[in-house]
Amino acid sequence: MRALRFLLRFYSYAVNAVVALAALAMSAVILQTPDHAVRIGWLTWTYDVLGSWLAGLGVAGVAVVLLALAGRLRWLLVGFALWVLFLVARGLFFGPWQFANVAEFRQALWIVLGLLVSVLGAIPVKRAS
């Protein structure tokens, strides 16, 4: 049981770190574009604020993962993982985004399931004394 808990926690750290770094990279590209005319279809933010929101998401994510790795404020990692899960699920399934085929829909389901597992891995568990 301990090994499974360790794997889930490691998975959560890795997924949330990748999400944060990807958000930072996308925001850098968007903010460097002269007219910020980049659109990510499943995110609901408009052109003018998309880069700023992604930068904020990235900075917050990196800070939260580093704090959790240091053993401090681990509950923030749960909140960040839930926020990412909410943003992705809402954007893919409850927004204007449309899937071209069943394979894309299935892939989106796997992404959301992976994010859900990262939320479960982020939940801190008290150690038995």
Q: pLDDT digit string (tens) for 20-69?
A: 999 999 889 888 877 766 777 777 777 778 888 899 999 999 999 999 99
Cα 6 from chain centroid? 20
Q: Which amino acid is at 92?
A: L
Question: Torsions phi, psi of 127, nearest 5?
Answer: -80, 140
Domain assignment present for 115: yes
Calpha distance 17→4 (Å, rounded): 20
Average of per-residue pLDDT across 123-128: 76
Domain assignment present for 23: yes
pLDDT of 126 reads 74
Domain assignment present for 79: yes
User: What domain range is 61 assigned to?
Assistant: 2-122
- Confidence (pTM): 0.86
pLDDT of 43 reads 75
Q: Which amino acid is at 59?
A: V
Domain assignment present for 129: no
Domain assignment present for 128: no
Domain assignment present for 28: yes
39: Cβ–Cβ under 8 A, 6 or more apart, which residues? 47, 50
Q: Which helix (H) or strand (E) holds 10?
A: helix 2-32
Domain assignment present for 127: no
pLDDT of 127 reads 66
Domain assignment present for 56: yes
- What is the tally of structural domains in the chain? 1
